[in-house]
């Protein structure tokens, strides 16, 4: 009978522990420079930001401030935790951040978005729409690729989408499936697409979309819904509340976005534009 | 009147402790050959049978002295209840069998529940009899259904995917307001909004109304329609349509029939040992059966849910015409090509007609 060696057992145990440890890192964590440009070391990587700018951190338990002050904000289990303004990260803060046991998946992480894609595919095979709305069956990994998914804020101007792949070129076709009618097709250039605000973007409306490459091959099919007018009011109120405690507008915006489940908007907001991508 | 079964049959603590353990140990070991497709195939094949003679293999003794003529009023009980009466389904199926066909029906039921009676020996009359029992009795108390529902839903949904926001609170408040209009609502239903569910609102086992962000936003934008949707889904739970469908499906296959026999033959007033045995053995079997099923409500059940919706909305002071107009508005912008939906719900025109009639009835009741 095969007996695993002690070394192998330890290795497997170590791998399991590492997986567990990784799972607990799924926190949405951002920093913002309070009064001047700042610099932090995030898990060994140097990240600079200008005053008022907010950036996402990979490992908020492992942050070092080189130039402060900064505000640190952590979204965990549906709650917001604010630290700062800080000139240095004290052990007490590290312990507090580490103690935030988070079961939520962080939408900023590609693994989390990929999980959403899987769930969308599963749920598409079950249940029946109450009002008979025909919905496109998901294909590929739209959330993982950075395309809109879940609940999204109604764009005041155009809907600006940054894909994960900055080299992607093709076409995005958008069709209203409920609460609005019509469709639009827009080119995707260098991983960016702008959909002009037409009457398509009605509050509470749902959409399905198809992303095709330059060879017209379908790369992904997904869906999203726009916020209702009342949800937009909720957002405005949450933002006003957040501004009472946070100095950074961007962090206050992120807090209000998270409070209203606008995960995709929060994720897009902290993605770098253009050459920085 | 026989009261609806309550948790007195089962200690809730016992269920809480034993159910997860029992299910972990036994799921997958029980009913190994039972799957959704085989049961659905058997259901459509067997319940549409026109046979008038006993199937081969049935002995003459199977029917001896137990042939009876069903009470004509019994068929009427299967029609939708337009007035949304408080559900008072009997747990004791033998009492209900007596309503259906007197003493001979009781004798026949005892014979059907014999451990050696085979599913293949059911006659068309037996099938009609069992269908009647499936839809007019409740074999699983609401507390136990909730436990099975909790287990089922915990396997289906991850709590980390649950949405919490002001919009969810608004929707939950609407659900609670409508629920408060019902008399003797079974269990404690609640709204569960998932970050990644399909584009629907649906009533699930154990009193959950599940929906996704798309529907939440749509209903938040159209609050008049929201009341109708929530009241409709609450009605499915109130009338226990889901568990009745499961009961009916159990009786539609050889594997399910054996499980149904265990549920039906259960002691009405069991002692602690019998309770423990039942929870340990039968409940995981029920869960195992349920998790393989995809229940779709009948058009009659949908009509019944619409009828209850009008009663509760009216009691809650919601204008029925505005609610229906709101619902039609959200429908008008939705694709009407979804066959699964139209197979399950009555046609919009029929629903509108039923809705108007129900609204008139409600107004007359209020005048009285």
- Over residues B277-288, the mean pLDDT reads 76
Among A99-108, B30-39, B326-335, whose mean pLDDT is lowest?
B30-39
Residue in B201, B220, B294 nearest the CB of A126:
B294
Residues of B with Cβ-Cβ distance to A179 under 8 angstroms: 218, 221, 330, 333
pLDDT 10s digits, B206-229: 888 988 898 899 999 999 999 999
Say whether A264 sits in a helix, a strand or coil. helix
Cβ contact B196–A259 (<8 Å): no
Q: Cβ of B338 and A129 within 8 Å?
A: yes
High-pLDDT (> 70) share of chain B, %: 74
Question: What single DSSP character describes residue B17?
Answer: H
**Can you tell me the mean pLDDT for A247-270?**
90
| Burial classification of residue A38, based on how many CB atoms lie within 10 Å of its CB (0-12 exposed, 13-18 middle, 19 or more buried) | buried
- d(CA B266, CA B274) in angstroms, rounded, equals 9
Out of A89-93, A262-266, B234-238, least confident range: A89-93
Mean pLDDT (whole number) for A56-74: 86
Interface contact B165-A261, CB threshold 8 A? yes
Q: Is B44 on the interface with A (CB under 8 A)?
A: no
Judge whether residue B22 has pLDDT over 70.
no
Q: Which of residues 142-201 of B touch A (CB under 8 A)?
A: 159-161, 163-167, 170, 195-201
Lowest mean pLDDT among A86-95, A98-107, B101-110, B294-303: A98-107
Q: Which of B164, B190, B192, B166 is nearest to B179 (CA)?
A: B190
A7 min Cα distance to partner chain B (Å): 31
pLDDT tens digits, B96-121: 999 999 999 999 998 888 888 888 88
Contacts of B197 in chain A (CB under 8 A): 123, 127
Tell the residue number behind the tokens 């085979």, with chain if given. Answer: B118
User: Lowest mean pLDDT: which of A222-236, B41-55, B266-280, B306-320?
Assistant: B41-55
Whole-angstrom CA distances from B306 to A135, B132, B196, B233 are: 25, 22, 27, 9
Tell me how close the Cα of B204 comes to any Cα of chain A, in angstroms.
10
Q: Which of residues 323-362 of B touch A (CB under 8 A)?
A: 327, 330-331, 333-338, 340-342, 344-345
The tens digit of pLDDT for each residue in B243-270 reads 888 889 888 888 888 888 888 777 655 6
SS3 assignment, position A145 = helix
pLDDT at A119 over 60: yes
Q: How far apart are the first and last CA of chain B?
A: 26
On chain A, the residues whose CB falls within 8 A of the CB of B335 are 132-134, 177-178
Angle at B20 between CA B17 and CA B23, to 5 degrees: 130
Per CB-CB distance under 8 Å, the chain B contacts of A120 are 196
Distances (CA, A) of B90 to A82, B97, B109, B278, B315: 56, 10, 15, 20, 27
pLDDT computed for residue A256 by the predictor: 94
Are B203 and B253 in contact by the 8 Å Cβ rule? The answer is no
What span, in angstroms and rounded, lies between the C-alpha atoms of B193 and B215?
A: 9
Mean pLDDT confidence for A26-50: 85
């Amino acid at each position: 009978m095969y007996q695993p060696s002690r070394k192998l057992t330890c290795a497997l145990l170590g791998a399991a522990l590492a997986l567990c440890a990784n799972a607990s890192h799924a926190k949405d964590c951002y920093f913002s420079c309070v009064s001047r440009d700042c610099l932090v070391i995030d898990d060994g990587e140097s990240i600079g930001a200008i005053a008022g700018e907010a950036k996402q951190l990979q490992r908020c338990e492992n942050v070092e401030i080189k130039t402060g002050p900064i505000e640190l904000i952590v979204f965990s289990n549906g709650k917001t935790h604010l630290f700062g303004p800080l000139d240095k990260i004290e052990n007490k803060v590290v312990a507090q951040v580490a103690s935030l046991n988070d079961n939520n998946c962080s939408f900023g992480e590609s693994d989390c978005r990929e999980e959403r894609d899987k769930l969308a595919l599963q749920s598409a095979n079950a249940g029946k729409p109450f009002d008979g709305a025909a919905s496109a069956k998901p294909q590929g990994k739209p959330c993982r690729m950075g395309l809109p998914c879940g609940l999204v804020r109604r764009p005041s101007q155009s809907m600006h989408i940054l894909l994960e792949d900055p080299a992607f070129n093709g076409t995005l076709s958008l069709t209203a499936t409920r609460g609005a009618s019509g469709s639009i097709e827009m080119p995707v250039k260098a991983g960016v697409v702008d959909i002009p605000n037409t009457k398509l973007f009605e509050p509470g409306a749902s959409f399905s979309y198809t992303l095709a490459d330059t060879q017209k091959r379908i790369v992904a099919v997904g869906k999203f819904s726009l916020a209702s007018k009342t949800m937009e009011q909720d957002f405005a109120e949450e933002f006003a509340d957040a501004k009472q405690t946070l100095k950074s507008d961007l962090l206050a915006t992120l807090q209000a976005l998270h409070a209203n489940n606008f995960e995709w908007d929060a994720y897009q907001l902290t993605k770098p534009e253009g050459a920085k991508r | 009147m026989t009261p609806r079964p309550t948790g007195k049959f089962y200690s809730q603590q016992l269920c809480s402790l034993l159910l997860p353990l029992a299910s972990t140990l036994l799921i997958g070991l029980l009913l190994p050959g039972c799957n959704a497709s085989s049961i659905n195939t058997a259901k459509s094949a067997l319940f549409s049978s026109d046979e008038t003679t006993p199937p081969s293999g049935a002995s003459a003794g199977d029917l001896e002295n137990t042939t009876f003529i069903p009470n004509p009023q019994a068929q009427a009980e299967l029609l939708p209840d337009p007035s949304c009466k408080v559900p008072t389904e009997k747990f004791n199926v033998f009492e209900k069998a007596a309503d259906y066909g007197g003493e001979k029906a009781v004798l026949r039921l005892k014979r059907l529940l014999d451990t050696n009676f085979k599913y293949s020996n059911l006659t068309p009359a037996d099938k009609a009899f069992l269908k009647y029992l499936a839809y007019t009795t409740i074999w699983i108390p609401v507390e136990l259904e909730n436990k099975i529902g909790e287990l089922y839903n915990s396997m289906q949904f991850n709590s980390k995917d649950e949405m919490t926001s002001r919009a969810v609170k608004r929707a939950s408040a609407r659900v609670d307001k409508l629920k408060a209009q019902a008399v003797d609502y079974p269990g404690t239903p609640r709204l569960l909004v998932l970050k990644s569910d399909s584009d629907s609102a649906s009533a699930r086992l154990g009193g959950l109304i599940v929906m996704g962000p798309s529907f939440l936003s749509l209903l938040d934008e159209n609050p008049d329609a929201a009341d109708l949707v929530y009241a409709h889904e609450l009605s499915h739970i109130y009338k226990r349509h889901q568990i009745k469908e499961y009961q009916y499906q159990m009786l539609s296959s050889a594997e399910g029939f054996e499980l149904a026999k265990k549920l039906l033959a259960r002691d009405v007033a069991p002692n602690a040992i019998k309770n423990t045995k039942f929870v340990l053995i039968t409940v995981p079997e029920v869960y195992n059966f349920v998790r393989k099923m995809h229940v779709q409500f009948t058009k009659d059940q949908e009509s019944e849910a619409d009828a209850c919706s009008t009663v509760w909305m009216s009691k809650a002071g919601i204008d029925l015409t505005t609610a229906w107009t709101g619902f039609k508005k959200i429908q008008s912008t939705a694709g009407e090509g979804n066959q699964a939906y139209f197979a399950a719900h009555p046609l919009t025109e029929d629903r509108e007609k039923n809705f108007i009639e129900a609204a008139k009835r409600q107004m007359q009741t209020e005048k009285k």
